[in-house]
Amino acid sequence: MLKVSFRKVGLVASAVTMLSFVGASADETPKPTDILFERPHIASVAPGTNLVYKFVRAPSNPKVMGEGFTDDITVTVESDGAPGKKNVRVQMYTGDRAREPEEITDMDGNPMLIVYLDNAVSHFRLLAGGDPTYLKGMFKRSLAQDAKIAPVKIDYKGQQVDGYRVSLKPYLNDPAKEKMGGFEGSTFTIALSDKIPGYFAKMVSDYTNTDKNAPSLEETTTLEGVGDVK
C-alpha cells in the first residue's frame, strides 16, 4: 500500500479548486460535493476526541492480491485552531504496520476523506494500471458529474440516525476502460451523517472484476460504533 501524504494529496486539493459547490437547503438532498467537501465535519468535535476507524482489506485470493488485514486508523482532535477549525493528528495503523503520525493544523473537514480518496485512486492503479494524474482527473470528474446520493439509515451506538450514501463508478465509461484489466466497474461508496462525530461512518472500495474468475478486492473503513447502513 502506498504511503499517504496529507499535505501533498492532489486529488482533494484539485477537486476543491475545480468544483463549483452550491449548498443545499435543509429540506433538500445535498449535492455529493457539498456534503463531502463543504461541510465542517470536525468543527464541533471536542478536543481530546479520538475518532477510531477500522480498516479491513479483504482480497478474494490472497496469493494473487496480497494478504488481507485489519487495523485501525485514528484521527485525534488535539486542540482548537483558528476560529471554527481544529488541529488534528492522524495515525495510520498500529504496531509493525504503523506509519509516522501526521499533524495537521486548522482543519474543519475530516482528514479521513483525504485518506479514503487517496487510497481509492492509488489502489485502483495498483490493480488496473494507468497514469496517476489521469486516474485522479477522472475520479474528480465523476465526483462532480456522476456521483449519486441517497438517504440511508445508519446504526450508530445502538441507535439509528439519518444519513446519506454517496456512490460512484468513476471508470465505468472511461474511454480507456479496455486497458483497465476488467476493473473499470469498481465502485466507491461513502456513508455519512451529521449526527455522527466526524460525519464519516463507512467508506467502501469494491474492486470487482468483470471476469468472474478473476480475483477481487474489497476495502472497508468503518467508524467505531457504526453498524449496518441501510
**What was the pLDDT predicted at 203?**
98
- Read off the pLDDT of residues 138-149 as tens digits, 9 standing for 90 and up: 999 999 999 999
Task: Report domain extents, the chain.
Answer: 6-229
**What was the pLDDT predicted at 217?**
97
Average pLDDT, the chain: 89
Separation CA 208–CA 35 (nearest Å): 27
Contact 9, 104 (CB under 8 A): no
Name the class of domain 6-229: mainly beta
Strand order of the β-sheet with 217-223 is: 102-107, 86-92, 69-80, 49-59, 217-223, 200-207, 187-192, 159-168, 148-156, 226-229
* Pairwise pLDDT comparison (76 vs 9), residue with the higher score: 76
Mean pLDDT value across residues 48-60: 98
- Read off the pLDDT of residues 32-44 as tens digits, 9 standing for 90 and up: 999 999 999 999 9
- Read off the pLDDT of residues 63-79 as tens digits, 9 standing for 90 and up: 999 999 999 999 999 99
Mean pLDDT value across residues 114-133: 95
**What was the pLDDT predicted at 6?**
42
**What was the pLDDT predicted at 5?**
44
Mean pLDDT is lowest, of 13-17, 55-59, 211-215, 221-225, for: 13-17
**What was the pLDDT predicted at 1?**
33
Separation CA 185–CA 173 (nearest Å): 9
Separation CA 13–CA 92 (nearest Å): 20
pLDDT band at 16, cuts 50/70/90? very low
Mean pLDDT value across residues 108-113: 96
Contact 73, 92 (CB under 8 A): yes
Contact 31, 22 (CB under 8 A): yes
pLDDT band at 28, cuts 50/70/90? confident
**What was the pLDDT predicted at 27?**
53
**What was the pLDDT predicted at 2?**
31
Mean pLDDT value across residues 1-8: 38
